[in-house]
Chain A
Amino acid sequence: MSDPLIGVVVCHRELASALVGAAEEISGVRGALVPVSNTGCDRGDLEERVREAIGGRPAVVFVDMPSGSCLIATLQRLRGHPEAAAVTGVNLAMLLDFLFHRDLPPAEAAGRAVNVGTRAIRVPA
């Protein structure tokens, strides 16, 4: 059996740290999510931060926006990397679910995260 997936969260400013902190506090699962901020770096530096966070492990990379510097750096890093997949529009619901489904293949885990995250967006009755 391969290693469980690592989740890398790539966001503007301090958003990734806040999301990871909240997910760890709620779930009690620590060390499975790695935050990456785009603060203070250009395209190359951000790609390097993503590379370091993945650390050669199978991963799902959660990105805040469906465009922009975080997504571009992530896709450049993941190109030709079959053991990793990307998801945009990260939210807390998808991160919490991911923490308990880290044994899936990356693409399947990414698809699951999209479903869970999308279902969490609604107008409560």
Chain B
Amino acid sequence: MTLALARVDDRLIHGQVVIGWGRPLGASFIVLVDEAVRASEWEQELYRLAAPPEVEVIFASVEEAAAALPAWLARPDRGILLTADVATMVALQAASGGRLEAVNLGGIHHRPGRTQRLPWVYLSDEEYERLQALAAAGVRVTAQDVPATSAVPLESLR
């Protein structure tokens, strides 16, 4: 069934992902694309703790994820792909030759230079422009914290 969700969420694996999205989607694997977590066995153990035991957690760098993306997309079960920031998701999309069809914006919290777009989404102008470029290339970009709420289109976050 492929990757059912590609999400930018700076908390990575947490309740909204595992319970809010993971259960209704029937996700049996989570791909966490983050250079810092990929480099730290200890942090990987922490994030494994955050997922139900029956859910496989795969840690990857952007380069590794780009190479493995076709295989994940071809898997018969459903998965969720996570990055902690817009830049990593954009880099993955570029490195994989544009394999992602949709990107979901989850929790992206305040940082200097970012402005509030939704109560749980803060973006810098540069991040917004990068997302616009994704959308212009045909990727469906929306913000949606959990499936029970409505997806907010990118243009509403301007």
Chain A residues close to B by CB (< 8 Å): 12, 40-43, 45, 65-69, 71-72, 75-76, 79
Contact = CB atoms under 8 A, between A and B. Distances in A.
A86 to B, nearest CB: 11
Interface of B: 10-15, 18, 42-43, 46-47, 49-51, 84, 107-111, 120
Given A12-B15, A43-B10, A79-B42, A67 B50 contact: yes
Contact of B50 (A40, A68, A76): A68
A71 B10 contact: no
Contacts of B43: 76
Given A42-B10, A43-B10, A76-B46, A69 B109 contact: no
Most buried by B among A66, A69, A71, A75: A69
Given A41-B109, A42-B107, A72-B46, A67 B51 contact: yes
A42 B108 CA distance: 7
Given A40-B109, A40-B110, A67 B49 contact: yes
A12 B15 CA distance: 10
B153 to A, nearest CB: 23
A71 B10 CA distance: 15
Contacts of A76: 43, 46
A67 B18 contact: yes
Contact of A68 (B18, B109, B110): B18
12 contacts: A41-B110, A42-B10, A42-B84, A43-B12, A43-B84, A45-B109, A66-B49, A67-B51, A68-B13, A72-B46, A72-B47, A76-B46
B67 to A, nearest CB: 26
Contacts of B120: 40
B46 A75 contact: yes
A114 B108 CA distance: 34
B97 to A, nearest CB: 30
The 3 A-B pairs at the shortest CB distance, nearest first, are namely A42-B10, A42-B109, A69-B14
Contacts of A43: 10-12, 84
A41 B109 CA distance: 6
A75 B15 CA distance: 16
A40 B107 CA distance: 9
